[in-house]
């Protein structure tokens, strides 16, 4: 353990004599010798007492930056993305923006036969779903904001809408096709308004979601630019409105909203968690992702190659430690410390089985795991076996039983079939017989992470916070209840019928008989006293003659109700979470019951029941205290002189700490990984150097603060221009493509057959566009819509220069934009779904395949002619789709940040549990 003084070195700090205490014959005072020896013994005693304390784990750790929302729980997430906004509409738009950024459009994640509906789970681990699920996730956010929600089934699509004024007005948000629009009063329009007013969708869309307005529902020359593959999948505005043609089903009865789970990290001695910002290339791919229901990789469905990242947990408890019994999750019938190799743990009674229990709280969803262990089995009557629980200890699956004989034998077990798909699991090692023993265990777990959810760094100064929540072990359990799976984990059940065809409008577990109280009861047992309980589920009750009740018990006999629904009010999939208080001192078992009863609808979708159940139980840690934590970030800075890999390690010495990391470069860094471990528990090959790996703090000067731009009238629309520069034959200018009002969206389909509004220029070309505005007018700003594409080797210009003239002969330069402005978009820029995909890493600006360069004049100038000169990057061609000239522009510099990270002093004390509702 680092930081422990060497007692020998301490002894040497006490001299046996000094120059001022000599006797005449030079020998030290006997009294001084005694005092010195007493001092040394006291010093050694202090150190020995200090060493006798085991290393304390830390629990419910949250690592945050001011670039990524806080996904610890639903309340923290909403606080981090809405607190900086003043109006309800701005808060709702911020929620929509982050829902669009946090997931990609693919099929839905399904675990244990159930859709993943909790946004904290989906956003932290999966990052992909379809229109129906993201609408349910957004409904979760609306409800937790205190607003109302609708789930809207269109003819061929699903969206949601919210009301923040108790139903007086409704506002539609589509996070699947990445769209919202306004009515004529400036409010976000609702579904009923869009049905009646097509121009809301076709012309009044938010600037961040559409390329250009279109005339009517037959005009397919405008796109939903923030969606997935706008050209390839025909994501036009007209096709989008077509989905809203009446009739549409607007429902408050089925909201598909679930919540209550939380994300946190625990750390123990000899454990570290490294989260990478990409795939684990050196690991068999099948061990690194959670497949779709079809068994396929979600990233392969729509070529989303950058959805997931991976994490690697390593837990190697020292079973030879004198504190091993306190550092494992639980043990029974074993003794520790046998001197023989292969017997760090052995049965206390040779005639009875002993058990060692290890808990792996992997935080993210597990894709695979490996258990390495050394065991002894000296005779055929001895036994060593391993089993695993993925159900909070309610059931175990046998994994392996030793059939060989020997001492300290090494084995490696594949746990993937037993643990993939959960975020926490238990490993139980059972040993029996005088010749049975366990010497060591190492658990390596690979997790899947939504890459967008990782706490990243941006260029400039980064605020980083590490905050510990309640210091307690946290068990989270979401039992599978489909197809009768509940029977494998329940403690008891009575008169239960199971719906075989799962649907969002009906309960899965329901009464088998009328006028009989049906129930399922789960039992959660913990090795130390329980400190907090929160549980709930999705409650289905559709009439006042039925009921559904949540109850708890501490003895399995007497149950206390915590909630009951006995009315026909919407929604019919009501999410309820409840805290259980008080909890008896020393209690180690909790019985959580879901009970329902019907008068007339047994075995029916019309009857009561539940669609989902969730439980969270916290219990005391075996070792209490605080151990310093090390946080290491690794990233690549993109500098003009070349890319540089850097690291930074911070020692966290308190339960809540904020620090800064400064990052350089002309664009945001390429994140590599972030590692968390207790001090002294870094990887064996990891050299820990506090501060920057190169010893240099470059400062925060690389930061760029985004602004908002409100553009005036485009006075270049439909105007004539001359064009010089060698054009590419695959997409020549047709004579007016650059002022036709049609703006190409981001996509790979850029040639004339797909996007005739584009104009392509040969490699190393200089393209010059000279516009004739028809008369002298005030020019305030110019926007140049450009693109990238790898196949034709097209990139954004190296530099764009804007000049103006009144006579067409004498031009004066008014401003310029360089290539790297693409990395400084406006504050309301919404990236398309593939913007961060590594498949475009070969392009100079990555996956940003379309971008509008801006040149804002220092002051408006009178001009009839505007000349735009675009110089190509060396070895690349140029792709342009539109040039716009504006008569005015308003620039707002004071823009709320995308993420609100409050100072630590403003943070409320962490509540033991999150997700409760009244």
pLDDT (0 to 100) of residue 392: 98
Cβ atoms of 430 and 353 closer than 8 Å: yes
- The residue behind tokens 């699991």 is 425
Q: 145 burial class (0-12, 13-18, 19+ CB within 10 angstroms)?
A: middle
Contacts with 653 (C-beta within 8 Å, 6 or more apart), sequence order: 628
Q: Count other C-beta atoms under 10 Å from residue 541's C-beta.
A: 24
List the one residue out of 183, 243, 302, 230 whose CA is nearest residue 742.
230
Distance separating alpha carbons of residues 60 and 692, to the nearest angstrom: 27
- The residue behind tokens 């979601």 is 209
Cβ atoms of 379 and 433 closer than 8 Å: yes
- What 8-state DSSP symbol labels residue 313? E
**What is the sign, positive or negative, of the torsion defined by CA atoms of 617, 623, 626, 632?**
negative
Cα 669 to chain centroid distance, Å, stands at: 19
Helix (H, G, I), strand (E, B) or coil at 883: strand
647: β partners:
634
List the one residue out of 784, 795, 716, 720 whose CA is nearest residue 750.
795
List the one residue out of 702, 706, 703 whose CA is nearest residue 828.
706
Q: Does domain 312-448 have CATH number 3.30.2350.10?
A: no
Phi, psi of 725 (to 5 degrees): 120, 145
CATH of 708-892, one of 1.20.1530.20, 2.60.120.260, 3.30.1020.10, 2.40.30.10: 2.60.120.260
Contacts with 276 (C-beta within 8 Å, 6 or more apart), sequence order: 309, 310, 311, 312, 672, 673
Hey, what are 319's tokens?
Answer: 């079973």
Average pLDDT, the chain: 93
Distance separating alpha carbons of residues 91 and 896, to the nearest angstrom: 11
Q: What are 166-215's pLDDT values in tens digits?
A: 999 999 999 999 999 999 999 999 999 999 999 999 999 999 999 999 99
CATH architecture of 473-619: Sandwich (2.60)
Q: Report which secondary-structure segment, H or E, holds 192.
A: helix 191-196
What pairing do the DSSP bridges indicate for beta strands 424-432 and 383-389?
A: antiparallel
524: β partners:
590
Mean pLDDT by 10 residues, the chain (918 residues): 29 29 36 36 37 87 98 98 99 98 97 98 98 98 99 97 99 98 98 98 98 97 96 96 96 97 97 98 95 95 93 98 95 96 97 98 99 98 99 98 98 99 99 98 99 98 98 98 98 97 92 98 99 99 98 99 98 98 98 98 97 99 97 98 98 98 98 97 84 97 96 98 98 98 97 97 99 98 98 99 98 98 98 95 97 98 99 99 99 97 69 40
Cβ atoms of 525 and 572 closer than 8 Å: no
Cβ atoms of 406 and 376 closer than 8 Å: yes
Distance separating alpha carbons of residues 856 and 860, to the nearest angstrom: 9
Phi, psi of 862 (to 5 degrees): -80, 130
pLDDT (0 to 100) of residue 687: 73
Q: 557 burial class (0-12, 13-18, 19+ CB within 10 angstroms)?
A: exposed
Distance separating alpha carbons of residues 73 and 64, to the nearest angstrom: 13
Q: What are 661-689's pLDDT values in tens digits?
A: 999 999 999 999 999 999 999 997 667 89
Distance separating alpha carbons of residues 200 and 195, to the nearest angstrom: 9
pLDDT (0 to 100) of residue 8: 26
List the one residue out of 904, 893, 825 whose CA is nearest residue 463.
904
Measured CA distances, 734 to 704, 746, 758, 792, 884 (Å) = 38, 21, 9, 19, 17
Q: What are 132-180's pLDDT values in tens digits?
A: 999 999 999 999 999 999 999 999 999 999 999 999 999 999 999 999 9
Helix (H, G, I), strand (E, B) or coil at 429: strand
Distance separating alpha carbons of residues 312 and 447, to the nearest angstrom: 6
CATH architecture of 73-251: Roll (3.10)
Beta strand segments in 486-544, E: 492-494, 496-498, 509-511, 518-525, 530-540
Beta strand segments in 746-833, E: 759-761, 766-787, 794-795, 799-805, 812-818
- What 8-state DSSP symbol labels residue 840? G
Contacts with 578 (C-beta within 8 Å, 6 or more apart), sequence order: 534, 535, 536, 550, 562, 563, 916
């Amino acid at each position: 353990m680092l930081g422990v003084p060497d007692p020998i070195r301490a002894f040497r700090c006490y001299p046996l004599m000094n120059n001022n205490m000599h006797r005449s014959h030079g020998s030290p005072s006997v009294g001084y010798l005694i005092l010195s020896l007493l001092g040394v013994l006291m010093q050694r005693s202090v150190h020995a007492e200090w060493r006798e304390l085991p290393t304390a784990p830390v629990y419910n750790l949250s690592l945050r930056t001011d670039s990524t929302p806080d996904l610890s729980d639903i309340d923290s997430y909403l606080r981090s993305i809405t607190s900086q906004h003043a109006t309800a509409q701005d808060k709702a738009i911020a929620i929509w923006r982050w829902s669009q950024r946090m997931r990609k459009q693919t099929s839905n994640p399904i675990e244990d036969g159930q859709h993943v509906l909790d946004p904290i789970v989906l956003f932290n681990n999966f990052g992909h779903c379809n229109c129906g699920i993201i609408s349910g996730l957004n409904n979760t956010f609306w409800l937790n904001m205190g607003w109302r929600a609708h789930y809207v089934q269109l003819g061929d699509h699903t969206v949601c809408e919210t009301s923040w004024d108790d139903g007086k007005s409704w506002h539609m948000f589509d996070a699947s096709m990445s769209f919202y629009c306004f009515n004529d009063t400036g409010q976000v329009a609702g579904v009923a308004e869009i049905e009646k007013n097509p121009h809301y969708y076709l012309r009044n869309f938010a600037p961040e979601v559409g390329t250009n307005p279109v005339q009517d529902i037959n005009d397919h020359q405008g796109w939903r630019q923030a969606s997935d593959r706008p050209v390839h999948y025909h994501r036009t505005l007209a096709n989008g409105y077509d989905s809203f043609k009446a009739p549409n089903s607007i429902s408050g009865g089925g909201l598909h909203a679930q919540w209550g789970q939380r994300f946190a990290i625990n750390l123990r001695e000899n454990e570290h968690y490294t989260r990478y910002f990409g795939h684990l290339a050196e690991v068999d791919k099948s061990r690194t992702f959670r497949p779709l229901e079809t068994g396929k990789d979600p990233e392969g469905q729509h070529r989303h190659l950058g959805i997931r990242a991976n994490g690697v947990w390593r837990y190697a408890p020292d079973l030879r430690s004198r504190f091993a019994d306190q550092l494992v999750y639980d043990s029974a019938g074993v003794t520790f410390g046998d001197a023989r190799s292969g017997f760090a743990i052995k049965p206390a009674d040779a005639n009875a089985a002993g058990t060692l229990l290890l808990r792996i709280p992997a935080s993210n969803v597990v894709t695979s795991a490996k258990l390495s262990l050394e065991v002894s089995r000296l005779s055929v009557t001895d036994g060593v076996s391993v089993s695993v629980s993925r159900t909070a200890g309610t059931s175990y699956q046998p994994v392996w039983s030793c059939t060989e004989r020997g001492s300290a034998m090494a084995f490696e077990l594949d746990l993937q079939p037993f643990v993939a798909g959960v975020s926490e699991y238990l490993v139980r090692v059972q040993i029996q017989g005088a010749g049975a023993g366990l010497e060591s265990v190492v658990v390596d777990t690979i997790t899947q992470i939504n890459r967008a959810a990782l706490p990243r760094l941006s260029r400039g100064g980064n605020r980083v916070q590490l905050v510990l929540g309640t210091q307690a072990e946290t068990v989270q359990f979401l039992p599978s209840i489909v197809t009768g799976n509940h029977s494998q984990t329940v403690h008891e059940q009575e008169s239960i019928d199971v719906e075989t065809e799962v649907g969002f409008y009906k309960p899965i577990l329901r009464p088998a008989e009328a006028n009989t109280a049906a129930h399922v009861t789960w039992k959660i047992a913990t090795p130390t006293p329980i400190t907090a309980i929160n549980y709930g589920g999705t409650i289905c009750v559709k009439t006042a003659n039925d009921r559904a009740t949540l109850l708890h018990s501490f003895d399995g006999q007497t149950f206390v109700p915590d909630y009951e629904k006995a009315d026909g009010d919407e929604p019919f999939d009501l999410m309820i979470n409840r805290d259980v208080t008080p909890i008896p001192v020393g209690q180690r078992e909790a019985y959580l019951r879901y009970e329902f009863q019907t008068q007339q609808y047994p075995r029916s979708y019309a009857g009561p029941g539940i669609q989902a159940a969730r439980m969270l139980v916290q219990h005391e840690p075996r070792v209490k205290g605080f151990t310093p934590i090390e946080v290491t970030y690794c990233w690549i800075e993109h500098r003009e002189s070349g890319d540089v890999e850097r690291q930074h390690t911070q020692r966290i010495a308190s339960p809540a700490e904020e620090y800064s990391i400064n990052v350089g470069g002309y664009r945001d860094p390429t994140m590599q990984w972030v590692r968390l471990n207790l001090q002294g528990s870094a990887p064996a090959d990891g050299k820990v150097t506090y501060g920057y790996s190169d010893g240099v703090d470059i400062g925060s000067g690389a930061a760029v603060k985004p602004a908002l731009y409100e553009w005036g009238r485009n006075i270049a629309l439909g105007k004539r221009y001359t064009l010089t520069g060698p054009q590419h034959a695959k997409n020549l200018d047709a004579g007016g493509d650059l002022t036709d009002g049609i703006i190409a969206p981001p996509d790979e389909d850029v040639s004339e057959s797909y996007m005739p509004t584009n104009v392509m220029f040969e490699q190393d070309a200089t393209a010059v566009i000279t516009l004739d505005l028809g008369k002298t007018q005030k020019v305030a700003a110019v926007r140049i819509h450009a693109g990238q594409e790898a196949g034709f080797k097209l990139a954004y210009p190296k530099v764009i220069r804007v000049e103006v003239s009144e006579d067409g002969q004498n031009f004066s330069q008014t401003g310029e934009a360089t290539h790297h402005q693409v990395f400084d978009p406006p504050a309301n820029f919404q990236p398309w779904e593939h913007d961060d995909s590594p498949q475009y890493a070969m392009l100079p600006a990555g996956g940003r395949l379309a971008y509008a360069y801006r040149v804002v004049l220092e002051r408006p100038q009178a001009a009839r002619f505007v000349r735009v000169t675009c110089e190509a990057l060396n070895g690349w061609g140029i792709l342009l789709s539109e040039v716009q000239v504006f008569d005015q522009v308003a620039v707002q510099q004071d823009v709320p940040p995308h993420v609100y990270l409050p100072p630590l002093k403003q943070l409320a004390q962490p509540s033991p549990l999150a997700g409760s509702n009244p």
